[in-house]
């Protein structure tokens, strides 16, 4: 019986690569060579495995054993113990945050529980820079099926019947969009991949492109065949150098294999793709602004209709789909519309990728069926809140989304339920907050981002959001009055109703949702002039507890403005008029004598 070849997969996503991942890979190859194992063990540099806060990570097959937090110096133990002796290196195993048990296989690990990987099917498994590895995992098979067994309208019908909706935030039915472009006859049509991922804390599209670029290229070609286009464009922010490099490698390899270019797979269909670079403007995630940017104009949205599927790039029919949407296409073609539509909820089919971040134990990249509850994501997949703190809120949909609370934990995550709860799906950022977060400051942070990223074309967004931000600044500095809360609410509704594009229309969501769910915090800021979470510096006061102070003078020595006075071995006091609330005294005190009120 032939012994199964050992494979060591090393996470090559941006996070792990930046944390000595390349040095780990080099050490691994050297150690295998030193033990004459280089011909017996295959080392694969993959994309993101999803365990982003625990990297660098490696997976060893057979056995599907995962090691986390691996450093270059750990390689010798892995090779000598695991590879040569078949013994797990226990100190590198994943420790479950709830049970404190050390778990080894992917099936056991809590971050992978309840996940269903459709979009991320090859991320963390294949070498994204090796087209042969991608083809061995079914890459371009769906394109072959479409070109040889389906007509363009058959492809469109399959995508429509699957129930796939746009994963970029809008949730528009993908098949319907393709059908509109097909019905608008033109000698020139375009397929655009929107990889302009700009939400704070979001890294879904980047990780897909880094881990499985061929999935996106294949889907774009399938879309081109369906709508009768021969040109594709990938609009990606230049801040994604690793994704760009792997895309360029994938494009070159696909052309060499005849999977892009003239007469693909011997058919009459020709299609090629080029990359267009964005400068990182959040508003260019909106499809009309993105198109203007690609045309060399200022990235500003325009009124719709006409929609890009009718008149888009160079005034021609243009399909704009985001990375995650496109990554769903090949499995739909291969497995069928019925298979995809059997996943998820009645109106939200399939799975959704989330970048799970914030005050959570298992920060990372996850993919779950639509309809999975927020509680399942946070407590089971995410491993609960860090340091045993209490869950307070989860921000879905990035700066355009809303903050969901404990009462929403059992809400199924899908397009309609999130909107009903005062938030939105967005592109998939999910930031978890705990009891130490001030929700007024959270709303101010996201609004500040929106103000910075507004294109400035329409007055409600350009001026209205600026005025709202000023009100929040006053409130967090203790200068607000109760009437400001009604002003905030009214401004939110005006901006939502009158802004030109989705950025402006959704920008008040963080303010509205926090006003709805955490009004008591707002009221504490404007009436008691206190921040219950102790985060707003202008509303904090540091006090020394006389009974706990031993007069060591450590706090006085680190105070940058001399606000602390007192004799040695006697209780000290803080002059509130001088104190700049930097917190240096509290950090230095060893006797828990300093508190915040």
Give pLDDT, residue 1. 40
Give pLDDT, residue 268. 94
Give pLDDT, residue 99. 59
**C-alpha distances in angstroms, 449 versus 198, 356, 372, 465, 517?**
10, 19, 29, 10, 21
Q: Cis before residue 507, ω within 30 degrees of 0?
A: no
Give pLDDT, residue 4. 73
Residue 114 maps to a domain: no
Q: Are both 143 and 31 inside the same structural domain? A: no
Cα 126–chain centre separation: 21
Residue 124 maps to a domain: no
Residue 156 maps to a domain: yes
Give pLDDT, residue 307. 94
374 vs 394: CA distance, rounded Å = 9
Q: Render each residue's pLDDT in the chain as its tens digit; 597 residues.
A: 456 789 999 999 988 888 888 899 999 999 999 999 888 899 999 999 988 888 899 999 888 889 999 999 999 999 999 999 989 999 998 877 765 666 666 767 778 878 999 999 999 999 999 999 999 999 999 999 999 999 999 999 999 999 999 998 788 999 999 999 999 999 999 999 999 887 777 889 999 999 999 999 999 999 999 999 999 999 999 889 999 999 999 999 999 999 999 999 999 999 999 999 998 888 888 899 999 999 999 999 998 899 999 999 999 999 999 999 999 999 999 999 999 999 999 999 999 999 999 999 999 999 999 999 999 999 999 999 998 999 999 998 878 888 899 999 999 999 999 888 888 887 788 999 999 999 999 999 999 988 888 888 889 989 999 999 999 999 999 899 999 999 999 999 999 999 988 888 888 999 999 999 999 999 999 999 999 988 898 888 899 999 999 999 999 999 999 999 999 999 999 999 899 888 899 999 999 999 887
Give pLDDT, residue 20. 86
57 vs 69: CA distance, rounded Å = 6
Residue 123 maps to a domain: no
Residue 112 maps to a domain: no
**C-alpha distances in angstroms, 61 versus 42, 104, 240?**
10, 12, 30
Spatial CB neighbours of 497, under 8 Å, sequence gap ≥ 6: none
Q: Are both 516 and 591 inside the same structural domain? A: no
Residue 346 maps to a domain: no
Count Cβ atoms below 10 Å from residue 105 Cβ, excluding itself.
Answer: 14
State both tokens at 420: 């009903």
Q: Are both 552 and 483 inside the same structural domain? A: no
Q: Are both 178 and 310 inside the same structural domain? A: yes
Range of the domain at 522: 439-528
Query: Among 352, 427, 438, which residue's Cα sits nearest to residue 393?
Result: 438
Q: Are both 377 and 267 inside the same structural domain? A: no
Q: Are both 156 and 204 inside the same structural domain? A: yes
Q: Are both 102 and 151 inside the same structural domain? A: no
Give pLDDT, residue 260. 97
Count: domains in the chain: 5
Cα torsion 138, 143, 146, 148 to 10°: value is -90
204 vs 542: CA distance, rounded Å = 41
CATH number of the domain residue 516 falls in: 1.20.1440.230
CATH number of the domain residue 46 falls in: 3.40.30.10
8 vs 42: CA distance, rounded Å = 6
Q: Which of 414, 434, 454 is the last residue of a domain?
A: 434
Q: Whole-model pTM?
A: 0.90
Give pLDDT, residue 3. 63
Q: Are both 260 and 287 inside the same structural domain? A: yes
Q: Are both 57 and 102 inside the same structural domain? A: yes
Q: Are both 430 and 466 inside the same structural domain? A: no
Q: Which of 284, 312, 337 is the last residue of a domain?
A: 337
Give pLDDT, residue 103. 61
Residue 113 maps to a domain: no
Give pLDDT, residue 409. 93
């Amino acid at each position: 019986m032939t012994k199964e070849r050992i494979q060591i997969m090393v996470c090559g996503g941006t996070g792990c690569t930046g944390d000595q991942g390349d040095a780990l890979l080099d050490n691994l190859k050297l150690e295998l060579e030193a033990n004459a194992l280089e011909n017996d063990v295959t080392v694969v540099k993959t994309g993101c495995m999803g365990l982003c806060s625990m990297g660098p990570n490696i997976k060893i097959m057979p056995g599907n054993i995962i090691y986390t937090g691996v450093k270059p110096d750990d390689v010798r133990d892995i090779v000598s113990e695991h590879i040569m002796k078949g013994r797990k290196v226990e100190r590198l195993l994943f420790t479950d945050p709830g049970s404190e048990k050390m778990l080894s296989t992917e099936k056991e690990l809590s971050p992978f529980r309840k996940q269903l990987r459709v979009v991320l099917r090859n991320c963390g498994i294949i070498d994204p820079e090796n087209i042969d590895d991608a083809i061995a995992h079914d890459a371009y098979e769906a394109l072959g099926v479409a070109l040889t067994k389906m007509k363009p309208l058959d492809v469109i019908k399959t995508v429509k019947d699957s129930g796939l909706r746009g994963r970029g935030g809008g949730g528009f039915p993908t098949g319907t969009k393709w059908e509109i472009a097909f019905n608008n006859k033109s000698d020139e049509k375009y397929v655009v991949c929107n990889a302009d991922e700009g939400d704070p804390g979001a890294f879904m599209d980047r990780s897909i492109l880094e881990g499985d670029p061929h999935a996106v290229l294949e889907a774009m070609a399938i879309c081109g065949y369906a709508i009768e286009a021969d040109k594709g464009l990938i609009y990606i922010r230049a801040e994604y150098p690793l994704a760009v490099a792997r895309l360029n490698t994938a494009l070159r390899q696909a052309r060499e294999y005849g999977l892009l270019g003239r007469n693909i797979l011997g058919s009459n269909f020709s299609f090629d793709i080029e990359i267009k670079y964005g400068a990182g403007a959040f508003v260019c995630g909106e499809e009309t602004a993105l198109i203007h940017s690609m045309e060399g104009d200022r990235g500003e949205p325009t009124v719709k209709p006409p929609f890009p599927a009718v008149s888009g790039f160079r005034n021609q029919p243009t399909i704009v789909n985001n990375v995650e949407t496109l990554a769903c296409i090949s499995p739909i073609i291969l497995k069928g519309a019925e298979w995809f539509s059997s996943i998820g909820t009645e109106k939200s089919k399939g799975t959704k990728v989330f970048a799970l971040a914030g005050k959570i134990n298992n920060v990372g990249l996850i993919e779950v069926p639509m309809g999975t509850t927020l509680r399942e994501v946070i407590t089971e997949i995410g491993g609960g809140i860090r340091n045993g703190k209490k869950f307070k809120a989860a921000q879905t949909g990035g700066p355009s989304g809303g903050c969901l609370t404990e009462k929403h934990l059992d809400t199924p995550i899908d397009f309609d339920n999130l909107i009903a709860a005062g938030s939105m799906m967005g592109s998939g950022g999910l930031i978890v907050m705990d009891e130490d977060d001030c929700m007024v400051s959270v709303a101010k942070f996201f609004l500040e981002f929106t103000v910075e990223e507004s294109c400035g074309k329409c007055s409600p967004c350009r001026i209205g959001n600026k005025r709202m931000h000023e009100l929040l600044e006053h409130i967090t500095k203790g200068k607000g009055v109760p009437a400001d809360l009604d002003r905030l609410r009214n401004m939110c509704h005006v901006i939502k109703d009158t802004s030109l594009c989705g950025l402006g229309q959704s920008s008040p969501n963080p303010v509205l949702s926090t006003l709805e769910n955490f009004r008591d915090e707002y009221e504490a800021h404007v009436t008691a002039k206190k921040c219950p979470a102790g985060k707003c510096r202008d509303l904090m006061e540091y006090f020394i507890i006389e009974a706990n102070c031993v007069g060591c003078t450590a706090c006085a020595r680190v105070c940058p403005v001399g606000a602390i006075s007192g004799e040695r071995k006697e209780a000290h006091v803080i002059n509130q008029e001088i104190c700049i609330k930097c917190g240096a005294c509290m950090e230095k005190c060893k006797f828990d004598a300093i508190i915040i009120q």
